[in-house]
Amino acid sequence: MSEAGSLQAATYDSAARRAPLVRELVEVVRYRDLLGLLISNITKSRYKRSALGVVWTLLNPLLNMAVLTFAFSHMFRFSLVHYPVYVLSGLILWNFFTQTTTYAMSTLVWGGGLLKRIYLPRSIFAVASIGNGLVNLLLSLIPLLAIILIVGHPVHLTWWFVPLAVLLLAMFSLGVALLMSALAVFFADVVEMYAVFVQVWFFLTPVMYPKEMLPARFVWYLNLNPVYNLLELFRVPIYNGTIPGPHTIIAAVASAVVSLLLGWWAFASKADELAYRV
């Protein structure tokens, strides 16, 4: 048989030896227009199908904040001035993390039907859920600013640091989302286990209480909680009006990079099996 065609590189070669890590990234970039559409469709359908529409995204963290303020602000009145600002900025970050990771799992399990029928970069659903999370986060800064103005909390110049914190948060969440959604395809109970795990994680992270409330000997353990470092990175510039210390920054950068590399690697190396499993 002729080998002439082999001289010209094949458009698709199943034996192409390219690290899965890189291959998956190249493919997501190639499908970037689809990514944009998925993000806008998720966002639109979410707002179209609920009666309150976009108001709900703004209202939901506010309601949580109101309940927590009612319950705890008296308790923390000495350690935390303007408690609503403290708790709302914490909730915004926490919601981003849990919503994006949970959504990535459910869309892969759901959108997996598509992967069985047509080729798509498998990680596109996880990346899209992070994109959707970023839109929601941006929107929820509106009620945060409103609360800051209402309670008379100073608007600090250190806000410029917030985008950096959000970038690291997005990287960290994408890593977790990829890892969890790869697991969720193989094992159905992972989705429920993760929900319980996240609940416990929430209470172990000082989102709604000051970290000083923890017994002194436990405070050190917070450094092992990657979400805590990201939370500090996001909240300190908004609430305290300072730039977080170098330890926090280094720890946050490290956890974002490690999470993303680990999640991406785990997902990409299992990506070819996904179409067999979903």
Partner 1 sequence: MNEPAVKLERVSVRYRVPHERIPSLKEYAIRWVRRRLRYADFWALHDIDLEVGRGEVFGILGANGAGKSTLLKVVARVLRPTSGRVRVWGRVAPLLELGAGFDFELSGRENIFLNGTILGFTKADVASRLDRIVEFADLREFIDAPLRTYSSGMVARLGFAIATDVEPEVLIVDEILAVGDAGFQKKSAERIRAFRENGTTILLVTHDAAALKAMCSRVMWLKRGEVEAVGPVDEVLARYQA
Q: Residues interacting with partner 1, by CB under 8 A?
A: 1-2, 4-6, 8, 10-15, 30-31, 33-34, 36-37, 41, 45, 48, 114-120, 183, 186-190, 193, 272, 275-276
Query: Is the Cβ of residue 11 or residue 217 nearer to partner 1 in the bound state?
Result: 11
Alpha helical stretches, state H, 152-189: 162-186
Query: Is the Cβ of residue 113 or residue 215 nearer to partner 1 in the bound state?
Result: 113
Q: Could you tell me the smallest distance in angstroms from the CB atom of residue 149 to partner 1? A: 37
Tokens found for residue 225: 């909680």
Q: Which residues have C-beta within 8 Å of that of residue 177, sequence separation ≥ 6?
A: 100, 101, 104, 105, 126, 129, 130, 263
Query: Is the Cβ of residue 66 or residue 114 nearer to partner 1 in the bound state?
Result: 114
Q: Could you tell me the smallest distance in angstroms from the CB atom of residue 139 to partner 1? A: 21
Q: Could you tell me the smallest distance in angstroms from the CB atom of residue 102 to partner 1? A: 17
Residue 46 burial class via C-beta count within 10 angstroms: exposed 0-12, middle 13-18, buried 19 and up: middle
| Residue 120 DSSP symbol | -
Q: Could you tell me the smallest distance in angstroms from the CB atom of residue 265 to partner 1? A: 17
Q: Could you tell me the smallest distance in angstroms from the CB atom of residue 202 to partner 1? A: 22
Query: Is the Cβ of residue 26 or residue 149 nearer to partner 1 in the bound state?
Result: 26
CA angle 154, 159, 163 (to 5 degrees): 155
Q: Could you tell me the smallest distance in angstroms from the CB atom of residue 113 to partner 1? A: 9
Contacts of 190-198 with CB under 8 Å at 24 or more apart are: 190/105, 191/102, 191/105, 191/106, 191/109, 194/101, 194/102, 194/105, 195/102, 198/98, 198/101, 198/102
Query: Is the Cβ of residue 26 or residue 63 nearer to partner 1 in the bound state?
Result: 26
Query: Is the Cβ of residue 135 or residue 275 nearer to partner 1 in the bound state?
Result: 275
Separation of alpha carbons 224 and 203, rounded Å: 15
